[in-house]
Structure 1
Amino acid sequence: KMQNQLVRFLFLKLLVSKGDSRSIGVVSWNLNQQLPPKTSSLWLRSLANCDIIVVGVQELRDNESTNKAGKRAWLKSALKSEKKKYRTIAHHTLGGLQLVVLAKSEICDIEICSINDVALGLGNVMLNKGAICLILKIGSMTIALVTAHLAAHHGAVQERNTQYIRTDDELLSTLPDGRTFHHVVDATIFFGDLNYRLHGLRRSEVELALSESAESELLYFDQLFRERGNGHAFSPFSEPKLTFLPTYKFDRHSNSYDSSSKRRIPAWTDRILYTPHSRLHLIEYSSIPSAKHSDHRPILARFQLLSEQENGDNHHGEASFLPSLTMGREAVHTRSSRLGHSPRASSTNVKVGKRKRYPKTKEL
């Protein structure tokens, strides 16, 4: 089985190397108000050679998120250290939440359709939690990028679900002509610190599973996995099996999980989900364990966006070779009948929320 998966993976790599495809790297990172050292850009090297880089951060330091000049300074310095030329396609900040989209200088077929945000903190006013939605047209394909920071704490499952629903209602809402957001865009990538934890497990049980490299046995207890399977939240989205260690909560500059008096239970709070599409292929889904300055580890997903010509030669999506997130006899089926099957309108007519004007893109 693994050999078949490898063959399919290599076939896809060969396919995308032939045509005018685009590689997209998506990173989510809760910075814990601690900027990465200017001399360290190891986390960015994981996205080497991506045509388009999408970075969503949470808990950006206050003076960085409120200071206009500082909004991109930390990312700009990291890119300079990599000596790569990217230009800023879009950047948007909501409290400590930030979404930045960069593209190689030679990539020209990118257009901003709309960008909106919603506060999800106390009273739906506070900006400590929230979501940002950017609709981007890349060539002939329209993609929505949604980054979010949802409610913390183990018992706040319903609050997180409610925040997702509110995000869906306000950012991904029904259009005046009756079409839904999912009819307008080809695919959506939803990522961030979604804050879902492990249900019903003690820390000692989680540590034992991790010490025995039995992470897969923990997945059934993952709250996001369960809520998606029960149709309570994120049901239109897909996620491959988690093969990396829980990304929260670490002692800073350490590989040890929380050693404070609270001894928080390790969990996969940071996630990247997407709606399947025949032209959008997931190549990689992993964490970046070398980035240790925060109490979260950053995560990344690498996608390949096929051209229409390439897609015509390949009608099999990544589901054919990526492991699905199911477990044992009591496995919850996570794929909804809605996934990837909605008809869509012409991507040239995308209008969601208030359209904003953006200045010409700038070189970093």
Structure 2
Amino acid sequence: MTSLDLRILTFNCARALIDVSSFALLVLDPLFTHQSTPDIVVFSLQEIAPIAQSFLGGSYLQSYFGAFVDALNITAQTQGEHVYENIVAKNVGMTALMVFAKSDIVDRVRGIETGGAGVGMAEMGNKGAVGARIRWAGSGEEEDTYTTFVAAHLAPMEGAVQRRNEDWGNIVRNLVFTPERATSTSGTSVPGTAYDEQQPLLSHTDSSPSQHTIYTSSTTRSYLFLAGDLNYRTRDTPPDPNAYKSWPQPTSNRNAPYHFSKFLSSDQLTHEKDAGHTLHHLEEAPINFPPTYKYEHPFSSSSEPQETGSDGDDGSDDSNAPVITNDLQAAKNARFSKDPYATETWIWAKHRAPSWCDRILFFPSPALKVQKYAALPILSTSDHRPVALAASISVSAQDGTAAQEGEEMESPFPVNPLWKREREQARRREQVAGVVLYLATTNEGRMIAVAVAVGLFAGALALRRYLGYQVFL
């Protein structure tokens, strides 16, 4: 094995369970059509579930993680006898990371480290990042290879540019990798699927945390990928009521005033990165796809327009929006078109300027080859498009493209010496908030609350009767 073929997908799930069959067909299937099936598949997922389930974690997230496992299995089976093992499934609050590897390369996993940081209210995980660093055994005397994947979700709203930059700085300071579990080259103890924010994130210590941050590793053969809803917008203020009339529309003519490329010049992320304020040392492939946010949900002519509003946005009533009678068929047609972005129907939410919120970046290396960077069809469960990156990385010096010796990923921020304690405290706050929200916002939680209240009332009556009987005696 001289190289690894990667597919990285970022998707804001808008707190909704995906439709497995649609996701497999429209989102995952296109990832397998470039030359060969990927060796590694990575999902960066934001707002993976409602906030209560996300904060509680564990079994409360199992169905949400499981839906992505099922979708990938469906797609893999349609492409041949390919089997993928889920070697990482981690979340910090509402942000999650899943890493899959083909069964025939899992035995090359020599170790996995994970880490996470919350940057939302009280450092809880309504926004934040989760990462995994995987060590792949080299062939013979070849040096081992490290791949680092980070899923991130930064602060929303047009004017919060500085807050997004600060979120990134806090993620770099507080996301410290610690051992998940060791594996042998024979694969006898390969990690299995896990559905919670496991204790190894908090219970392991390391003698040199500075060697295990996002930007550093113990080898020069190391690759770093960051994917997520980074929330950088194309405006610094909310749009005017009539601004939507000039927003991008499907066309193959790049010279047209409403072609999506005209909006790229005002992309906040490009400006902030060029100024050295965020995502330091990372690069991005050219963007040749329309803005990924904020779409109205496709709806049939027999239903009213609805909007869940991810990132805390309020839904807006837009009774004059166009109607899509069959969004699945429209997405299929777009997928097989020579110019898919020119054949779709775009229905923009009028209170948010179309923006490239969903991005995938990487630390540049001559051994990393980008094959494709694209947005995928709009799904009716989210107001974001999924975005995918197809790439290959060298894991052998024989092909002459291995990472340069001595190349370093210099961290722009020092490690927070209190990162572990602060993450433990934030995790406790998440659990408390999760319980309260679960009892208040879910049918199951309300039933539990009623049952507890009835039990307490019955107990109080029984105690009162018992005490009254004792006084009478």
How does the TM-score come out when normalised to structure 2? 0.58
Whether 1:142 and 2:124 are equivalent positions in the alignment is no
In 2, the alpha carbon distance for the partners of 1:130 and 1:177 equals 20
Q: How many residues matched?
A: 302
Whether 1:256 and 2:346 are equivalent positions in the alignment is yes
Secondary structure of the corresponding residue to residue 21 of structure 2: coil
* Residue 75 (structure 1) shift: 1.0
Aligned to 1:23: 5
For the structure 1 residues 315 and 20, does the alpha-carbon distance in structure 2 shift closer, same or farther, using more than 3 Å as the test? closer
Alignment of 1:159-238 (within 5 A): 159-171=163-175, 176=208, 181=213, 182-184=215-217, 186-199=222-235, 202=239, 203-204=243-244, 207=247, 212=256, 214-238=259-283
Whether 1:51 and 2:39 are equivalent positions in the alignment is yes
Aligned to 1:127: 125
1:294 maps to a residue whose letter is S
For the structure 1 residues 208 and 116, does the alpha-carbon distance in structure 2 shift closer, same or farther, using more than 3 Å as the test? closer
Task: Output one character per residue of 1:296-338: Cα deviation in whole Å (capped at 9) or x when no partner.
Answer: 01000011012324541x4799xxxxxxxxxxxxxxxxxxxxx
The question of whether the paired residues in 1 share the 8 Å contact of 2:165 and 2:278 is answered with yes
Aligned to 2:427: none
For the structure 1 residues 145 and 175, does the alpha-carbon distance in structure 2 shift closer, same or farther, using more than 3 Å as the test? farther
Which residue of the other structure, out of 397, 408, 415, is the alignment partner of 1:342? 408
Unaligned runs of 5+ in 1: 1-18, 318-339, 345-352, 355-364
Which residue of the other structure, out of 355, 362, 370, is the alignment partner of 1:267? 355
The question of whether the paired residues in 2 share the 8 Å contact of 1:206 and 1:265 is answered with no
Task: Output one character per residue of 1:35-88: Cα deviation in whole Å (capped at 9) or x when no partner.
Answer: 221322121112221111000111112376431532421112212322242111
For the structure 1 residues 106 and 257, does the alpha-carbon distance in structure 2 shift closer, same or farther, using more than 3 Å as the test? same
In 1, the alpha carbon distance for the partners of 2:378 and 2:209 equals 48
Aligned to 1:77: 70
Secondary structure of the corresponding residue to residue 47 of structure 1: helix
In 2, the alpha carbon distance for the partners of 1:343 and 1:194 equals 21
In 2, the alpha carbon distance for the partners of 1:250 and 1:241 equals 22
* Residue 199 (structure 1) shift: 3.0
Higher strand proportion, which one?
1
Higher helix proportion, which one?
2
In 1, the alpha carbon distance for the partners of 2:381 and 2:358 equals 16
1:70 maps to a residue whose letter is S
Which residue of the other structure, out of 27, 31, 37, is the alignment partner of 2:19? 37
Larger Rg: 2
* Residue 176 (structure 1) shift: 3.8
Secondary structure of the corresponding residue to residue 20 of structure 2: coil
The question of whether the paired residues in 1 share the 8 Å contact of 2:248 and 2:260 is answered with no
For the structure 1 residues 73 and 169, does the alpha-carbon distance in structure 2 shift closer, same or farther, using more than 3 Å as the test? same
For the structure 1 residues 57 and 208, does the alpha-carbon distance in structure 2 shift closer, same or farther, using more than 3 Å as the test? closer
- Aligned CA RMSD, in angstroms, stands at 2.9
How does the TM-score come out when normalised to structure 1? 0.74
Secondary structure of the corresponding residue to residue 301 of structure 1: strand
2:108 maps to a residue whose letter is D
The question of whether the paired residues in 1 share the 8 Å contact of 2:127 and 2:154 is answered with yes
Unaligned runs of 5+ in 2: 138-143, 178-205, 299-326, 328-344, 411-418, 421-473
For the structure 1 residues 301 and 175, does the alpha-carbon distance in structure 2 shift closer, same or farther, using more than 3 Å as the test? farther
* Residue 209 (structure 1) shift: 7.7
Q: Percent identity?
A: 27
